[in-house]
Structure 1
Amino acid sequence: MFKTFSDDARLRELANAAELPLFRAVHGTPKGLTEAEAADRLAQHGDNHVARPTRASVWARVRAGVNSPFIALLTGLCVVFVVVGDVRGAVTVGAMVVLAVGLRFWQHTRSDRAVDALRARVSATATVRRRASDGHTAVTREVPVEDLVLGDVVLLVPGDVVPADVRLVSAVDLMVDQSGLSGETLPERKGVTNTRQASIVDIETICFAGTSVVAGTATAVVVATGSDTYFGTIARDIQGARPASGFDLGVRAVGWTLVKFMLVMVPIVLAVNGFVTGDWAQAAMFAAAVAVGLTPEMLPVIVTTNLARGAVRLAERKVVVKRLNAIQDLGAMDVLCVDKTGTLTEDRVAYAHSIDLYGQPDGEAAEYAYLAVRFQSGPRNRLDEAIADQLAGDEDAVSNNAAYSAVDEIGFDHDRRRATVVVRHDDEHIVITKGDPDQVLPRCAQAWQAGAVIELTDARRRDTEDLVRAYAEHGMRILAVAARQQPARLGGYSEMDEAGLVLVGFVGFVDPVRASTATAVRSLDERGVSVKILTGDNQHVAAFVAGQAGLRIGEVVQGHEIDRASAAHLRRLVTTGTVFAKLTPANKARIVAELRSAGHSVGFVGDGVNDALALRAADVGISVQGGTDVAKDAADLILTERDLSALADGVVEGRRTLGNTMKYVKITASSNFGNVLSVLVASAFLPFLPMLPVQLMVQNLLYDTAQLALPWDRVDREYLKRPRRWQAGGLVRFMLVFGPVSSLFDVTTFAVLWWALGTGSNNDTDPTVFQTGWFVEGLLSQLIAVLVLRSIMGSRPSRQVLVATCVVAFVALALPLSPLAGPLLLSALPLGYFPWLVAILAAYGVAAQLAKTMYTRRTGAWL
C-alpha cells in the first residue's frame, strides 16, 4: 500500500526532503512512471478526483420533505383518522401532507438544476513524463487529470491549473495564484527551497491542487491525489451532516411546543366530552378532530410556499437558493462574516498612484515603469499589467515611448526581486530598474525630486523606508522605480549595472474595494447585521479594506491568536473583533462556530477552498458563481454576481418570509386554542357536540385555504429592521392571551344560539342550527383575527389576502344553503341570528385590537 500525504506532518516532511528520499517515498523516479505502474496505481487507488456530494435521489428528496415535526404530526393524525374510520378526515390531512412535501420536492429539484447550470464543466489534461516500460526513454505527453497517480512527474507552465498536490523538483521564476486557499490576492513565489513554513499553504516547495500557475515553469512529482490532497481533505470534511441551523432549531422548538400542548388538551377534551355524552366512540372521533384543530396543519404548506416565493424573489436579485430553509436563516442573521478577496474587493491588482520619495504625487515613476513594462521581453506579472492598463490610454506616455528602443534586459528572478531594462533614447542608454523597495533602494545613491536630482542621504533614506512601510500597512503594494542615464555603449548589461541609480519614485497598487461594498455594509448595519472580515491575507491589508468598506476597526485578530486562545478568551475575541487576518480554514470555521455558540445567527460569504469549512459551519453559507466547486457545494445560497447588495435585499426577504410564516403560526395557534377552550365549555354543558368532527375539519380547511395567500402579504417596515427568529416562548404567550379572547366571543355565540334563538334549549330541537351557527361565527372570527392581528402598525393587507378572505367568508355564509349542506349536516340559519352575528364579530374585532395594543405595550414584541 502506498501512503498518502494529506496530513500536515507528512507533507512538511516531503516538502523538505532531498530529491532521492522524495522519489523513494512516492515510489517514483525523476524519469517518470512506466505506463504499467501508472495503470496499476490508478486501479488500486482510483481516479484523481475529489469526491463531491452526489445529487440526492428522488426518495432522498422526498425524505427531506417529510423530515419535519409538523409533517410527522399530520401523518400521525392521518393514521388516527384511518383507525377511527373517518375517511374524509384522513383524506383531508393526507392531501395537506402530499401538497407540502410536493412543493418542497419541486423547489429542491429546481435549485439543484440552477446550481448545476452555474458549474462550468471542462475536460482538463496534465502534462506528465512517462515511460513505455523500464529501460525506455521518458516521453512527455498529455493525460487526463483524472488519470494522475502518486509518483507521476508533471510539468507546469503558465496557465496550468495544478492537477494534484505536487512537490517541486525544479522551478524557474514560478509564481502561483493560490488565493482560493490562502486568501492572498497576489501570486505566491514557489521554488525548490523553503524560507517560510508558518502555515501549510505557505510552504514554497509544494503546489496544491486547484491553484494556478501565473508565471514561470516547473517540474514536480505528485505526492497526493483526489481526496487525499489539501483541497480534497477540505471537500471531504464538509460532506457530513451539516449542523442544525437557527431555522431548524426554531421550527423544532415550535413543533414540540404545539405537540406538547396537544398532548395536554386533547385528553381533556376526550374526558370531558365522554363523561358528559356517554358516547366514548363519538368523543374519540371528536377529540381527533380537535387535535387537527389544534395543529396548524397547513404550516408545512405555508412555510414551503413562503420559502418558494422567497426563492423566486431572490433569484430576481441574482441569488440562487440551494437550501430553502436558508432564506429564513438569512432573515435571522445578525452577524455576517465575509472573506475579503473577491467579495469586498475586486480580486485584481489596480494602479493606485505614482509618488516621489516624499509621497507627493508625481507621474515620473509611473512613466518610467511603463517604459520598463513595454520593453521587457519576459512574462508580465499582475503589477506589470496594471501599469500597462493605466498608461496605455495616456497619449503623452505612449508618444514618449515611441522615441525609445530596447537595448538589453536583466530579467526578474525571485532572489533579486527586481527587473531591469535598458533602452536607447537619442545617443544615450537609460537603465530602468523596478522591483521591491528593499531591493531597489540600496542600489540608489540619489533621488528625483521636483524636477531635480538630490542626494539620497541617510535621513532621506530612512524617511523613504518609513513611507513605504506606512503604505504597506494601509494595504498597498509598492513598487520602487529607479533609473540612470549613461552614454550608449556596445556590449551587454549585467547586475553590476544595477548600481548608482536615481530613485525616481514609487508606484502604488491596490486590490480595489468594490464600489457597492460600503453601501452594502451600511445597509446591512442599518438592518441589524454586523459585518466581520475573515481572511487569510495579512493584517495590514485586511484593516485597510475594512476601513474602505466602512467597518469600525478595533483590534485586528490574527490566526495564531485564535489557535492559542482559551475558551473564554476566544469568546471575547470573536464577539469584539471586526477584522481577523492570516486565518487558516480551521480558524475561520472555529470563529463561526464560536459566534453561533455565543447566541448569534451567523452567515458566511466565501468562494475559496479555504472557506468551505466555515461555509458549512455557518447558519447560512453563501458562495458566488465564480467560486470553487467545493465552496459552492458547501453553500446554501449562491450569488450570481459578486455584490453584497444582493445580500442586504436577501436579509429583508428572509425577514418578510419569516414574518408571514409567523403570522400564520401565531394567529392560527391562538385561534385554535380558543376553539379548544370553547369546546371544553360547550362539552361541559351541552348534551350534544357543539360542532361535528367533519364540520370542524371543513372549517379548518376553509380557514387554511384563505391563509395560502399570506406569503403575498405585506410585512410592517418596523418588523424588517432587525433580525428575526423562530421563538417557541413567544408563541405560547401569544396563544394564552389571544386564545381566551376569541373563546369569550365563541361562548357569547353559544349563549345567543341557546337562549336568544332557542336552537338546542329544547331536547326535541335538532342541534344542526346550533352547530351551523358556531361553524359560521367561528370561521368568520378567525378571518377577522387574521386581518386585525397580521400587523402591529395597522398596515393594509395585500390584495391577495383581501380577496382570499372575502371568498372564504362568502363560502362560509353560502355553505349552509348549498347542496353540500346535507353531507356536512349544516342547515339554514334563521334571519334573527345575523344581527347578533354582526354585533359579536364587530365586538370581537374591537377586543382583538385592544388586546393587541396592550400585548405589544406589555411585551414590546409582536410576531
Structure 2
Amino acid sequence: MDDEKNPKFPFWTLEWKDALKENNSSLKGLTSEQVSQKREKFGLNSLKESKHQSKLFLYLNQFKNPITLILLFAAILSYFLQDSSNAIIIIAIILFSTFLGFWQEKSAGDAVLKLLNLIQITATVLRDSKKIELPVEEIVPGDIIFLSAGNIIPADCLLVKENELFIDESTFTGETFPVEKRVTVMSKDTPLSKRKNSLFMGSHVVSGTCTALVIVTGKDTQFGDISSKLGTSSPPTDFEIGTKKFGELLIQITFIMVVFLFAVNTFLQKPVLESLLFTLAIAVGLTPQLLPAIISVNLSQGAKRMAEKRVIVKRLNSIENFGNMEILCSDKTGTLTKGKIKIKNTYDYLGNESKDVLLMAKMNSTLQQGFRNPIDDAINAMKIEGFGEYERISEIPYDFIRKRLTLLINDRKTKSSNQAITKGAVSQIIKICNRAIDKDGKIITIEKARDQINRFYEKLSSEGYRTLAIAYKDFGNISKISKDDEKDMIFAGFIALFDPPKKNIAETIAKLQKLKVELKIITGDNALIAKNISNQIGIKDINVVTGDEIKTMSDTAFSRKVIDVDIFAEVEPNQKEHIISTLKKAGKVVGYIGDGINDVSSIHESDVGLSVNTAVDVAKESADIVLLDNSLDVLIEGVKEGRRTFANTQKYIFMATSANFGNMFSMAGASMFLSFLPLLPKQILLTNLLTDIPSMAISSDNVDSEMIQRPLGWNLKFIKRFMIMFGVLSSVFDYITFGVLLFLFHAVEVEFQTGWFIESVMSATLIVLVIRTRNTFIKSKPSKYLLIGSIIVALSVTIFPFMPFASLLGFAPLPLIFYPILIIIVILYIVSAELTKKLFYKHLRSSM
C-alpha cells in the first residue's frame, strides 16, 4: 500500500502502529519538513477550489447572462461585416462592465474571507513533539490529532487511543444515536457504518476523548465524495428565491420588448444587423447587469459593519434572513442569564443540607472525561478536603436521551468496593432508583420518599433554582459498566444551582420587541424555573408549554398553539427542531441561537442559525452567523445591520428597474416615429454603464430609521408597481426631451442621440437621490460617496460631446442653449418624482 498514490486505501484494516509507518509518522507527530512535503502533495484540507480557479470562475460568471453573450457575438459579426469601430467600442464597454462586476465581487469575497478568519475552526495537532492549535485546513495526512466532546472530525482518521468515545455519524448513516468507537482492526469489506476504528470528516464527537492518526484529507475523504456527488450548496434563502423570480420577470419583459422592437425596426426597413444590435443592447440595458456585484458588495459591506458590532457573518446570503427575522428562539442559559452557574447547596431528599451529596457530585463532575459544561465547572470549583483520593474506573457518558452521566469510581486509599455515581435530570434519576437514603443514612423504598422528593424539587424550581439529582450503587469488584447497569440505584439527594439574569436584560428584550422580533425561550429546564426567571426579567402573563404536552398534541393542534407560546420548557433536543419547523410552516422567519452539541439540528433547521464564538466546534460550524459576545445586545445590532444591508440592496433594484423600464418604454415609442435609431447600441450600453457607477456606492448609503424598525420582506408585486409607476414617469420626461430636440432645435440623428443620451444619464443618475428614500430627498441625506458619484457622472456626460473621442461614440456638440433647458427638464422630473413618490407610498399605506 502506498498512501502517496492512493489516499483512499482501506486504512481500517491496519493496526494503528502499521498505519503510522505507512504515513511516515510517529507518536511524536510530523516534523515541519514532512508537513511542507505533504502540503505540496495533498494541498489544503478543504473541499473548496483553489483561489486561482475561483477567481477565473468568478470572472466567467459575469457572462452568465445569455443576452450579453449574444450581443458579444453580434458585435464580433458586425466587426467582420461592416462597422469595425462600433463593434470594438461595444465589446470594450461590455468587457469593462463585466470586469467592474468581477472586481466588486472579488473585493467583497476577500473582505468576507478576512472576517471568517476570526472564527476559524481549529484542531489540536502534534507537530515536532508539541501540541499546537491549527486551523483544520492546515492538517495533512500523517498528523496526530486530539479530539474531545464537541470537536468536529477534521479528516478521515484511524483511532490510536480512545476513552469512552461516542461519535455522531448521522451525516453518513442517518442514525440519530451516537456510535461507540474503539481501537481495533476491521476487515476490508466492513461497511462504513460498522468501522469502529475509523473517524470520518463531517462527523463530530458527542462524548469521550481520543487520539487519532489523519489518513485522508480534503476532497479525498468520504465526506468529500458525498459533497462532490450531491453538491454542497445550502438551500436558497428567501432573498435568493425573490431574486430569481425578479430575474424571471425581467426576462419575460425583455423577450417581449426585443421581439417587438426588432419587428418594428425591420418593418421600417432599417438595417437588419444594426437593428439586431440595437434590440440586443436594449435587452442588456433593461437587465441590471451589476445586480450580482451590487448584492455581493452590499452584503460584504454589511458583514464588515456587523463585524464592527462583534457579529461575524459566515454565509453572506443569511444577512437577509437575519434582518427579516420575526422570531428568535433561544435557550435561557447565557442568553437571558449570565451563563455563570453557581452552587446554591446540596440536599438530601428531605431538604436537609448534605455534604455526602456534594462529595458524590464532585466525584461525578471532576472525574468524568466527556463533554465539559458550566454545571460541571461550578461543581468542580467546590473545595473538598482529601478529594484526590478517588479515581475513575469506568464511565457511561452523558447523552441527551438519558440526560444523565454515570461514573464507576474507587477510593484509592481504602481500596473498597467500586461505586457507581449517577448525576442527571431529577425525573431521569428517579426512573432508575428503587431506594432512597435519609439524613441518618437509613435506606428506604423510593415509594416512601417519592412525594417528599417531588415537593422539595418543586419548591427549588419555583424559587428559580436549576436542580439535578444524585444516585449511587455499590458494584463490588465489577470494573466495567454499561447503560443496562443504570437501575436499582439509591436516590441520594439534590444539587441546587442558580444562574442570575443578566443586567438590563428586560430593556434588551424590549428593544427586540420594538424591532418586531419576538423572543421564544426553548429550554430543558422545567416550567417552574422558566416562569421564575421570566418574572425576574419582567415578562408577565407568559404562556408555557412543556415537552410532554407537545407529545400529546397533534400537528394541527400544535401549529395553532405554537405562535402564542412564550416558553417551551422541559423539551428534548428533537422537539426543538419540531418547534422551529412548525413556526416556519406558519410563515415566520425564524432564528435560533445555540452553543451546544444538542443545538446543531435546530441551527440547521432555522432560517438563520446563530451561535457564539465560545460554542462547541460543531455548533459554530453549523451556524450562519457567529456572535463574538454571548449577548442579545450584540444580536440586536446585527439585526439592524441586516436590515440596512437589505434596504440598500432594494434601493438599487428600485432604481435600476424603474430607470431601465423607462428607457425601454421611451425606446419603443421613439422607434415608431423616428427614421433612425434613437440611440446607437454602444450609446445604450454606455448609458447603462454610467448609471451603474454611482450604484457601487449604494452599500455605504444612509438608511432611514423607519426601514430598520420592522422586517423588510421581498415583495415582487411592489417592485412591479414601482417599476411601472416611476418607469412611465421617466419616459414622460424622455418624450418631453424628444419634443425639445425635434421641434425646438430641429435635431438631426447625431444631435438627437447626443441630447437624449445626456438627458437619460443625468436624470437616471440624479433620480437615485429621490427614490432611495420614502422621505423627501432633502430630509434624507445620502452618503457622501453616493452623492459625489451621482454628481460627477451627471456633470461628466455634459462634456462628452466636446471630448476628442466624441465622434467615435456617435456624439456631436449641441447648442449651449440646450443645457439650461435640460436643467429645467431634470428639475421638473425630480419635483414630479417627489410628488409621485408621496402619492405612491400614501396609496400603499392606505391599501395595507
Partner SS, residue 306 of structure 2? helix
Contact 1:742 1:844 (C-alpha < 8 Å) held by counterparts: yes
Give the equivalent residue in structure 2 for 1:610.
Answer: 598
What runs of 5+ residues in structure 1 fail to find an aligned partner?
1-32, 44-50, 126-141, 157-161, 167-198, 210-220, 393-400, 422-433, 447-459, 482-502, 761-766
Q: Do the aligned partners of residues 389 and 114 (structure 1) sit closer, same or farther apart at CA in structure 2, a change above 3 Å counting?
A: same
Distance 1:84 1:637 in 2: 50
Q: Point out the more displaced range, 849-858 or 322-331.
A: 322-331
Aligned to 2:37: none
Amino acid at match of 1:90: I
RMSD: 5.2
Query: Quick one: distance in 2 between partners of 1:512 and 1:52?
Result: 43
Q: 1:54 aligns with which of 25, 28, 47?
A: 47
Correspondences of 1:324-339 after superposition (within 5 Å)? 324-339=316-331
Aligned counterpart, 2:756: 774
Give 1:138's aligned residue. none
The Cα offsets for residues 7-60 of structure 1, whole Å up to 9 and x where unpaired, read as: xxxxxxxxxxxxxxxxxxxxxxxxxx99849869999xxxxxxx9973444446
**Which residue is 1:269 aligned to?**
261
Cα 1:561–1:824, aligned 2, differ >3 Å: closer, same or farther? same
Q: 766, 769, 783: which one pairs with 1:798?
A: 783
User: In structure 2, which of residues 116, 119, 122 is the aligned counterpart of residue 120 of structure 1?
Assistant: 122
1:555 aligns with 2:544: yes
Would the alpha carbon gap of residues 647 and 38 (structure 1) be closer, same or farther in structure 2, given more than 3 Å must change? same
Deviations 1:278-333 (A, max 9, x none): 32221111111111221112212221211121111111112222222222221122
**Equivalent position amino acid for 1:269 in 2:** L
Q: Which residue number corresponds to residue 679 of structure 1?
A: 667
Q: 2:843 & 2:376 partners in 1: Cα distance?
A: 65
Name the residue aligned to 2:824. Answer: 839
> Which residues of 2 match residues 118-197 of structure 1 at below 5 A?
118-123=120-125, 154-155=162-163, 162=165, 164=167
**Of the candidates 208, 216, 226, which is equivalent to residue 199 of structure 2?**
226
1:826/1:522 Cα in 2 relative to 1: closer, same or farther (>3 Å)?
Answer: same
Contact 2:547 2:572 in 1 (8 A): no
- 8 Å contact from structure 1 (residues 606, 623) kept in 2: yes
Report the CA distance shift for 1:36/1:649 in structure 2 as closer, same or farther (over 3 A).
closer
Bigger Cα displacement from structure 2, 65-74 vs 264-273: 65-74
| 1:807 and 2:792 correspond | yes
- Equivalences for residues 294-373 of structure 1 within 5 A: 294-351=286-343
1:216-246 residue CA offsets vs partner (Å, 9 max, x unmatched):
xxxxx99675249984799979985422211
1:788 aligned residue: 770
Pair 1:769–1:444, CA change in 2 (3 A)? same
Looking at structure 2, the residues matched to 261 and 121 of structure 1 have their Cα atoms a distance apart, in angstroms, of 53
Provide the residue aligned with 2:461 in structure 1: 472
Q: CA deviation at 1:582?
A: 4.9
The residue that corresponds to 2:586 in the other structure is: 598
Q: Tell me, what secondary structure is at the counterpart of 2:629?
A: coil
Distance 1:222 1:83 in 2: 62
Residue 660 of structure 1: aligned partner? 648
Residue of 247, 266, 274 corresponding to 1:255: 247
What is aligned with 2:438?
Answer: 443
Indicate the residue corresponding to 2:31 in structure 1.
none
Aligned amino acid, residue 476 of structure 1: Y
User: Partner residue of 2:845?
Assistant: 860
Report the AA paired with residue 623 of structure 1.
S
Using the TM superposition, give the Cα deviation of residue 154 of structure 1 relative to its aligned residue in structure 2, in angstroms.
Answer: 4.6
- What is the match of residue 96 of structure 1? 97
**SS state of the match for residue 533, structure 1?**
strand
What is the CA-CA distance between 1:266 and the residue it aligns to? 1.9
Aligned to 1:827: 812
Q: Retained in 1: the 8 A contact 2:800–2:806?
A: yes
Letter in structure 1 aligned against 2:818: Y
| C-alpha deviation, 1:851, in angstroms | 0.7
What is the letter of the counterpart of residue 94 of structure 2? V
Asked if 2 retains the 8 angstrom alpha-carbon contact of 1:317 and 1:646, the reply is yes
| Matched residue type, 2:105 | R
Determine helix, strand or coil for the equivalent of 2:591.
Answer: strand
Corresponding position: 1:651 with 2:639: yes
Q: Could you tell me which amino acid in structure 2 is paired with residue 95 of structure 1?
A: F
1:408-447 correspondence runs (5 A) = 443-444=438-439
Q: CA deviation at 1:745?
A: 1.0
Q: What is the CA-CA distance between 1:723 and the residue it aligns to?
A: 0.7
SS for the counterpart of 1:655 is: helix
CA distance in 2, matches of 1:696, 1:781: 15
Match of 2:614 among 626, 630, 637: 626
Give the CA deviation at 1:336. Answer: 2.1
Alpha-carbon deviation of 1:750? 0.8
- Deviation digits for residues 222-276 of structure 1 (CA, Å, limit 9, x no counterpart): 9675249984799979985422211211111111111111112222222223323
Letter in 2 for 1:814: I
Q: Tell me if 1:532 matches 2:520.
A: yes
Q: Residues 591, 384 of structure 1: CA spacing in aligned structure 2 closer, same or farther, 3 A cutoff? A: closer
Q: Distance in 2 between matches of 1:787 and 1:560?
A: 55
Q: 1:476 to 1:36 in 2, by over 3 A?
A: same
Task: Report if the CA contact (8 A) 2:97-2:689 is conserved.
Answer: no
In structure 2, relative to structure 1, the CA distance for the partners of 1:575 and 1:480 (3 Å cut) is: closer
- Superposed displacement of residue 92, structure 1: 2.5
1:799 offset after TM fit, Å? 1.5
SS of residue matched to 2:808: coil
Describe the shift of the 1:461–1:590 C-alpha distance in structure 2 as closer, same or farther (beyond 3 A).
closer
Once residues 349 and 146 of structure 2 are traced to their aligned partners in structure 1, the CA distance between those partners, rounded to angstroms, is: 52
Matching residue of 2:215: none
> Residue type matched to 1:272 in 2?
V
Cα distance, 1:670 vs structure 2:
0.8
Question: Which residue number in structure 2 is paired with residue 286 of structure 1?
Answer: 278
Give the aligned residue type for 1:121.
A
Residue 727 of structure 1 aligns with an amino acid whose one-letter code is N
In structure 2, relative to structure 1, the CA distance for the partners of 1:358 and 1:561 (3 Å cut) is closer
- The residue identity in structure 1 corresponding to 2:610 is I
Note if contact 2:657-2:723 (Cα within 8 Å) is conserved in structure 1. Answer: yes
* 1:615 Cα offset (Å): 2.4
Amino acid at match of 1:779: V
Q: Helix, strand or coil for the counterpart of 2:782?
A: coil
User: Aligned AA for 1:715?
Assistant: V
Cα pair distance change 1:848/1:570, threshold 3 Å: same
Q: 2:38 aligns to what?
A: none
Deviation track 1:593-614 (CA, whole Å, cap 9, x = no partner) reads 3433332222222223333233
Report the 3-state secondary structure (helix = DSSP H, G, I; strand = E; otherwise coil) of the residue aligned with 2:124: coil
2:357–2:494 Cα contact (<8 Å) kept: no
**TM-score of the superposed pair, with normalisation by structure 2:** 0.69
CA 208–261 in structure 1, closer or farther in 2 if over 3 Å, else same:
farther
Deviations 1:700-751 (A, max 9, x none): 2111112222111111111111111222221111111111111111101111
Aligned partner of residue 745 in structure 1, secondary structure:
helix
One-letter amino acid matched to 2:98: V
SS, match of residue 708 in structure 2: helix
CA distance in 2, matches of 1:604, 1:75: 43
Deviations 1:675-724 (A, max 9, x none): 11111221111111222222222222111112222111111111111111
Instruction: Work out the number of aligned pairs and report it.
Output: 689
Q: Offset of 1:783 from its aligned partner? A: 2.3
Query: Within 5 Å, which residues of 2 pair with 1:458-497?
Result: 466=455, 468-473=457-462, 475-478=464-467
Larger Rg over CA atoms: 1
Greater CA drift, 91-100 or 379-388 = 379-388
Q: Which amino acid aligns with 1:469?
A: E
Q: Distance in 2 between matches of 1:312 and 1:842?
A: 37
Q: What CA distance in whole angstroms lies between the structure 1 residues aligned with 2:666 and 2:76? A: 26
Contact 2:321 2:608 in 1 (8 A): yes
Deviates more, 1:584-593 or 1:635-644: 584-593
Maintained 8 Å contact 2:156/2:201: no
Distance 1:76 1:611, change over 3 A: farther
